[in-house]
Amino acid sequence: MDFLLKRRGFKNSTLEKHLKFLKWFLRWGNRKGIVTNSAFLSYRPKIKKIEKKVVFLTGQEIDHIKAFDIPKEKSYLHRVRDILIFTCYSGLRHSDVYALTKDAVKERYIEIVTIKTDDKLIIDLNNHTKAILNKYKDERFPNNKALPVISNQKYNEYLKELGELVGLDESLITTYYKGNKRIEEVVTKYMLLTSHIGRRSFICNGLFLGIPVHIMMKWTGHSDYKSMQPYIDTVDEMRSEAMEMFNKM
């Protein structure tokens, strides 16, 4: 814990994640008789943390990205934008879009087994996802892939470039702990764009539109309401802000 905090400079949220991984591994070793010291089982440090705010793209921001005229010298961002739009309207993780084959695409839905959790999902297609799939239906990609998806690392890099280009320059405050020290940082929204932004946007926008939580969970593969709670809280906050519009009448 001390090493990860002081030498690696991890935030408490990352620290907690690594601690969970380590304890899982030690429990496995303990069951196998490899780890004989079981003191770790009772080790439960108090790690200060703040619930991470869900950052996503609103419907207006997605429309703006779709309509933006990408300059010729940055033509490589066209495909990045297509994958971003596809994930915003399908809720798929980058790993699942990367592995998506033409065989998995049916007339009205996509049928996949997720890479992360091995869940079998049937995700209905809509006009937005159909348009992206149709755009590339006659192109041939390695391993019969349906879409031109690049590596996660490169995709994250290009997403930030795309976000800056289209003007996602809203200032956001991020708050986190390092040990007992509370830190607040002001960052520009495009800097927070990662491969998970499409999935978050799909869930938040879907809930805001009034799609029932249990249906969203069937599409995304979430197994319990606890994992959906941050998204539900975010949407409730959005609805409160929307109600304020009546005060301007």
Alpha helical stretches, state H, 126-208: 127-135, 152-166, 197-208
Q: Are residues 106 and 155 in the same domain?
A: yes
Distance CA 133, CA 116 (A): 23
Q: Are residues 89 and 210 in the same domain?
A: yes
Assigned domain for 51 exists: no
Assigned domain for 48 exists: no
Q: Are residues 89 and 196 in the same domain?
A: yes
Contact yes or no for 74/55 (Cβ under 8 A): no
Residue 208: alpha-carbon gap to chain centroid: 17
Alpha helical stretches, state H, the chain: 2, 12-31, 59-67, 77-90, 94-99, 127-135, 152-166, 197-208, 213-220, 225-243
Contact yes or no for 126/89 (Cβ under 8 A): yes
Assigned domain for 49 exists: no
- Any idea what the CATH number is for the domain that residue 83 is in? 1.10.443.10
Assigned domain for 80 exists: yes
For all residues of the chain together, what is the average pLDDT?
A: 92
Contact yes or no for 62/206 (Cβ under 8 A): no
Is the model's pLDDT at 25 over the cut of 70?
A: yes
Q: Which domain holds residue 163?
A: 59-239
Is the model's pLDDT at 249 over the cut of 80?
A: no
Task: Decide which of 165 and 230 is more confident.
Answer: 165
pLDDT at 245: 67
Tokens of residue 198, six digits: 């499409």
Assigned domain for 38 exists: yes
Q: Are residues 105 and 171 in the same domain?
A: yes
Distance CA 193, CA 190 (A): 5
Assigned domain for 109 exists: yes
Q: Are residues 71 and 127 in the same domain?
A: yes
Assigned domain for 244 exists: no
What does DSSP assign to residue 119?
Answer: -
pLDDT digits (tens, 9 = 90+) for 57-91: 999 999 999 999 999 999 999 999 999 999 999 99
Q: Are residues 96 and 186 in the same domain?
A: yes
Q: Are residues 98 and 25 in the same domain?
A: no
If one counts the domains in the chain, the total is: 2
Q: Are residues 20 and 119 in the same domain?
A: no
Q: Are residues 84 and 13 in the same domain?
A: no
Tokens of residue 180, six digits: 């007992």
Contact yes or no for 217/183 (Cβ under 8 A): no
pLDDT at 114: 92
Assigned domain for 164 exists: yes
Q: Are residues 21 and 110 in the same domain?
A: no
- Helix or strand or coil: residue 42? helix
Q: Are residues 66 and 29 in the same domain?
A: no
Distance CA 135, CA 147 (A): 9
Q: Are residues 110 and 183 in the same domain?
A: yes
